[in-house]
Amino acid sequence: MGGALPDQPIGRQSKAQKYFMLFKDVYSTILLIFCTVIVSASIFDRNTKVAEASHPAVAYVILWLVLIWLSMVEGGQASLVGLPPIDMNLYKDSHVTAHKIMKVVNTGDNLDRYLMGRQFMVLALVFVENLCGHTDDSTRSVLGLPIWVNKIFFDTGLGIFFMTAMIGKISAQVNASRCMLDYVNNWFAYFTFQVARLIEFSGLLHCCYPVQMIFAKLSGQPLESKDAPRTTNQTIFFWFRVLMSTVILAFSFAVTLSALFQEKTTMWEGVPPVVSVILFFAFMAVVGMLEGMQIAFFAVAKMS
C-alpha cells in the first residue's frame, strides 16, 4: 500500500527509505489479512446481522460480492473521470467496451449523471457490507483472541473499515488511475455504469441539482449544460424528481436528527446529543469536500 516519497524517484531513495517503504507494505498487508480473518471468523460465528438472519455462507458470499462490485464502482470513477480528454478514436478498436462506455459519458451531461448515481451505489454497497461483516456482539471472543482485540477492531468498526478501504477502494482507484482503459474495458464495468445512470434517472438524488445551480450562481460561474434544452414535459419531470428527492431528504434528516437527540444511534455513550449533531454535520461536510476533491484531482491530473 506504499509508494515513493513525494517528488523522489524510487531509484534515488536511500536504503533506509526503501526499507521503511517495505516495512509499511508488509505491515499493511498483514493488517489486511488479519482483519479479513477476524471478520470472516465473526461471520461464521453468526455474529453479524445477515449471518444470524440467514446463513454465514450467505453473508460471506454477499460480503465479497459487494467488495468486488465496490472496487469496480470506485475504480470506474477514476477511469471515467480521467478519460474524457483522451481522443476516443485512439482506442476505438483496441478497447471496444471502454469506447462504448465513453461514447455515452462524453454525450451531454452524462458524466455528471453517472457520478451522482455512483455515489449512491458506494453508500448502498458499504451499507450492505456492514450488514454482512460488522459484528453485532463485540463481547464475544473471536478465535480465542483477547477481548481488547474486539474493542479495537469491532467496537470501532476498524476491521471491516480496513477491508473496505484496502480492497474495495484504494487499490481499485490506484490501479484504475494508471490503467484507465483496461479497467473499464469489460461488461462488468458497463453494467455498473448503467446501474449508476439508472439510479440517477430514478430521481432519488435530484435535490442535488438545485444545490449545484445555487453554488454556480454564488460563484459567478455560469452553469452550462451540454444537453439540448429541455422540453416542457422534460422540465416538469425534472422538477417533479427534484421535489420528490427533497421530500425524501427532509424526511431522512428528520428521522436522523430525531435519533441523534434521542441517543438512539451508535454514537458512544456519554456523548451529548448536541455534540453528536455537530459531529454529524461536520463529518458530512468533510466527506463531501473529500469526494469533490477526489473527482477534481482525477480530472485535473489527466488534463496535463
The DSSP code for 271 is: -
- Total count of domains within the chain: 1
Structural domain of 66: 1-199
Q: How far apart are the C-alpha atoms of 27 and 36, rounded to whole Å?
A: 14
Q: Which pLDDT belongs to residue 227?
A: 83
Is residue 22 domain-resident? yes
Whether 226 is in a domain gets the answer no
Point out which residues pair with 48 in neighbouring strands: 135
- C-alpha cell at position 234: 422534460
Residues in CB range of 181: below 8 A, 6 or more apart = 79, 83, 91, 94, 95, 98
pLDDT for 302 equals 59
- Helix (H) and strand (E) counts in the chain: 13, 0
Does residue 278 lie in a domain region? no
- Determine, yes or no, domain membership for 130: yes
Residues 59/133, Cβ–Cβ less than 8 Å: yes
Distances (CA, A) of 190 to 2, 185, 193: 30, 8, 5
Residue 266 forms part of a structural domain: no
| pLDDT at site 1 | 44
Q: What pLDDT does residue 5 have?
A: 42
Phi and psi angles of residue 157, each rounded to the nearest 5 degrees, phi first = 80, 10
Nearest-angstrom CA–CA distance, 144 and 79: 43
pTM of the model: 0.85
In this structure, is residue 7 part of a structural domain? yes
Q: What is the pLDDT along the chain (304 residues), one digit of tens a residue?
A: 444 444 455 556 788 888 888 899 899 999 999 999 999 999 999 989 999 999 999 999 999 999 999 999 999 998 998 898 889 999 999 999 999 999 999 998 899 899 999 999 999 999 999 999 888 887 788 888 888 888 888 888 888 999 999 998 888 988 998 889 999 999 999 999 999 999 999 999 999 999 888 888 888 887 778 888 889 999 999 999 999 999 999 999 999 999 988 888 877 778 888 988 999 899 888 888 888 787 777 666 656 5
Residue 18 belongs to some domain of the structure: yes
Q: What is the dihedral of CA 257, 202, 226, 91, to 10 degrees?
A: 110
Dist. CA 159–CA 204, nearest whole Å: 31
Answer yes or no: is 65 within a domain: yes
Helix (H), strand (E) at residue 5: none
